[in-house]
Amino acid sequence: MALYSDKVFEHFRNPRNVGIIENPDGVGEVGNTVCGDIMKMYLKIDDDVISDVKFETFGCGSAIASSSMATELIKGKPLAEAMELTNKAVAEALDGLPDYKMHCSVLAEEAIQAALIDYYTKKGLEMPEELKKAAARAAAHEE
């Protein structure tokens, strides 16, 4: 069996939503604790819906494919749905990643959560429980 699925290759070669959003409503940057790679996610939010999303990464091919798929999965979706996106769901949508590459998909999940936390913080809105937990996990990483 091939190490990477056709979908991983396809998203790696032709990643969706790469770039930056000027004046984003939320932006999140995270580093991967396993490999040290970096991911930045930009969100545009209208009426509690992700109207646009873009990413930049200094990650590997699996990180690029995961981020591309993750942005596709949250674009046009309500915030409540976006904040529940897990790296496992992203990997499944890519028809799987090798076990030792699963950590790469975590970058996309955590960058989306960081961008959502930024949005709620800037707006002075009460964060949903889901995001509070993500914020606590991120703070623990930084210690």
Contacts (CB under 6 A) with ligand FES, residues 107-126: 107
- C-alpha closest to that of 53 among 42, 45, 40: 42
10 lies in the site for ligand FES, by CB under 6 A: no
CA angle 124/130/65 to nearest 5° reads: 105
- C-alpha closest to that of 26 among 118, 130, 125, 131: 118
CA distance 91 to 97: 6
- C-alpha closest to that of 74 among 40, 130, 112: 112
CB-facing half-sphere around the CA of 4: CA atoms within 13 A: 15
Nearer to ligand FES, 54 or 101 (CB): 101
Q: Which of these ranges, 56-64, 71-79, 92-100, 109-117, lies near ligand FES under the rule CB under 6 A?
A: 56-64
Among this protein's residues, is 104 annotated catalytic?
A: yes
Q: Which of these ranges, 9-17, 58-66, 91-99, 126-134, lies near ligand FES under the rule CB under 6 A?
A: 58-66
68 lies in the site for ligand FES, by CB under 6 A: no
Strand partners, 30: 39
56 lies in the site for ligand FES, by CB under 6 A: no
Q: What are phi and psi of 136, to 5 degrees?
A: -65, -40
Smallest distance from the beta carbon of 123 to ligand FES, in angstroms?
30
Catalytic residue among 104, 108, 111, 115: 104
104 lies in the site for ligand FES, by CB under 6 A: yes
What is the set of active-site residues? 35, 104
Task: Name the residues that contact ligand FES, by CB under 6 A.
Answer: 32, 35, 37, 59-60, 62-63, 104, 107
